[in-house]
Amino acid sequence: MFLSEIKKKLSNNFLTNGVETPELDARLVLKEVLSFDDKDLILKENHDISEELTKKIFAIEARRLRGEPISKIFKKRDFFKSTFIISNDVLDPRPETELIVEIANNFIKKNKVKNILDLGTGSGCILLSVLKENKMINGLGIDLSKEAINIALKNSKKLQLDKQSNFLISNWMSSINFRYDIVVSNPPYIASTDIKKLAEDVKSYDPLLSLDGGDDGLNCYRAIAKDLKRIINKNAIIIVEIGYNQSISVIEIFKKNDFKLIKKYNDINGLDRVLTFQ
Ligand SMILES: C[S@@+](CC[C@H](N)C(=O)[O-])C[C@H]1O[C@@H](n2cnc3c(N)ncnc32)[C@H](O)[C@@H]1O
């Protein structure tokens, strides 16, 4: 079958079956299976693709149509400026979380920073992206999931950041007795009862531990804010991602624990998505 035909068939099938980004997903499948880049996909449209590869492409299409995200099929996902190894044991890194990396990088440019702590590190995407841009600082990523820590360790080696980073299995900061200049976190923030309303490719493929924020979705902010003072330096900055409607409640939780709101940052839809505190 010609590449142009396969491309058309894939995008059409994705579109008619409700895949959110049909063209993009089709391109990702073809690039990965054929080892092509974006330019090849255009210049080699008239190539006759072997039966074996065509079969492989449509087998992947079937998995995607059953709800499996492309990133979970190929076990990797681009985030900020790197490609991260992922698995069903970690949250798929989301583009909106890149905002945390940008805020941390700006803070490091203007302040004396030695170290950074990432609470609920998952794949390690936030911590490792910051460390990659800032070679003079060290970081610790913690997660309750042993499997997530194994993936984060793999990513630190792949990105050659294993000398700058450490990873630890811990219930938030309970096993930490050290102080940090930056604390970042994208904790689970979906209310338990809302999990069933999430899209299939989220609720079935991201681990529950990475999504479930308890009855009102705010339990992790409460747990983190309560114990934070003990592990931060005097002028440390706290950078947290929040759910689209949680701004007021999360600010209240941090205020109750003596933290001052520095700034609210919007996502592309104009909703508060990241908060910083001192
Ligand atoms: C929303 S995911 C964020 C993953 C990654 N930082 C990212 O932004 O893609 C939240 C992470 O918090 C971890 N987590 C949940 N409860 C935790 C706890 N009590 N202590 C430490 N980590 C926890 C989960 O395992 C998950 O990896």
Q: Does residue 199 carry a pLDDT above 90?
A: no
Between the CA of 9 and the centroid of ligand 1 the distance, in Å, is 38
What DSSP assignment string belongs to 157-170?
HHTT-TTTEEEEE-
Cβ 145 under 6 angstroms from ligand 1? yes
Average pLDDT value for residue range 224-236? 97
Q: What is the CA(256)–ligand 1 centre distance, in A?
A: 23
Our separate counts of H helices and E strands in the chain read 11, 9
Structural domain includes residue 71? no
Q: Are residues 173 and 214 in the same domain?
A: yes
Instruction: For residue 269, name the pLDDT band (cuts at 50, 70, 90).
Output: confident
Q: How many CB atoms lie within 10 A of CB 40?
A: 15
User: How far is it, in rounded angstroms, from Cα 214 to Cα 171?
Assistant: 15
pLDDT at res. 154? 98
Query: Is 49 in the same domain as 86?
Result: no
254: pLDDT strictly greater than 90: yes
49-53, 160-164, 265-269, 274-278: lowest mean pLDDT where? 265-269
Same domain flag for 37 and 136: no
Q: How are strands ordered across the β-sheet holding 115-119?
A: 165-169, 138-143, 115-119, 180-185, 232-241, 272-277, 261-266
Which residues neighbour 104 within 8 Å (Cβ) at sequence distance 6 or greater?
A: 116, 126, 130, 182, 184, 237, 239
Contact in structure between 77 and 245 (CB atoms under 8 Å): no
| pLDDT score at 109 | 97
Q: What is the mean pLDDT of the chain?
A: 96
- pTM for the model stands at 0.94
Distance CA 218, CA 177 (A): 25
Quick one: average pLDDT of 225-229?
97
> CATH number for the domain including 223?
3.40.50.150
- Name the residue with the closest Cα to ligand 1, atom 17: 144
So what's the pLDDT on residue 268? 85
What whole-number percentage of the chain has pLDDT above 70? 100
Would you say the CB of residue 172 lies under 6 angstroms from ligand 1? Answer: yes
193 and 89 co-located in one domain: yes
Residue in this structure with the two tokens 């630190």, named with its chain if needed:
156
Residues 111 and 32 both lie in one domain: no
**How many domains are contained in the chain?**
2
119 pairs with which residues across the strands?
Answer: 142, 185
Q: How many CB atoms lie within 10 A of CB 204?
A: 14
Instruction: Express each pLDDT in 97-124 by its tens digit.
Output: 999 999 999 999 999 999 999 999 999 9
The verdict on 12 and 102 lying in the same domain is no
Interval between CA 72 and ligand 1 midpoint (Å): 18
Q: Which domain holds residue 190?
A: 76-277
Q: Are residues 260 and 123 in the same domain?
A: yes
How many CB atoms are located within 10 Å of the residue 83 CB?
A: 12
Mean pLDDT of 10-23: 94
Report whether pLDDT(277) > 90.
yes
pLDDT at 123: 98
- The pLDDT of residue 171: 98
Q: Which residue has the higher pLDDT, 250 or 199?
A: 250
The residue out of 45, 66, 87 marking a domain boundary is: 66
Best mutation site among 209, 212, 219 for ligand 1, i.e. most ligand atoms within 8 A of its Cβ? 209
Assess whether the C-beta atom of 97 lies below 6 angstroms from ligand 1: yes
Residue 90 pLDDT level (bands cut at 50, 70, 90)? very high
Confidence of residue 241 (pLDDT cuts 50, 70, 90): very high
Q: Are residues 52 and 93 in the same domain?
A: no
Decide: 10 and 61 in contact? Cβ < 8 Å. yes
CA of 268 to the centre of ligand 1 (A): 23
Shared-domain flag, residues 49 and 81: no
- Report how far Cα 119 is from the mean position of its chain's Cα atoms: 13
In this model, does residue 201 exceed pLDDT 90?
A: no
Q: What pLDDT, on a 0 to 100 scale, did the predictor assign at position 50? A: 96
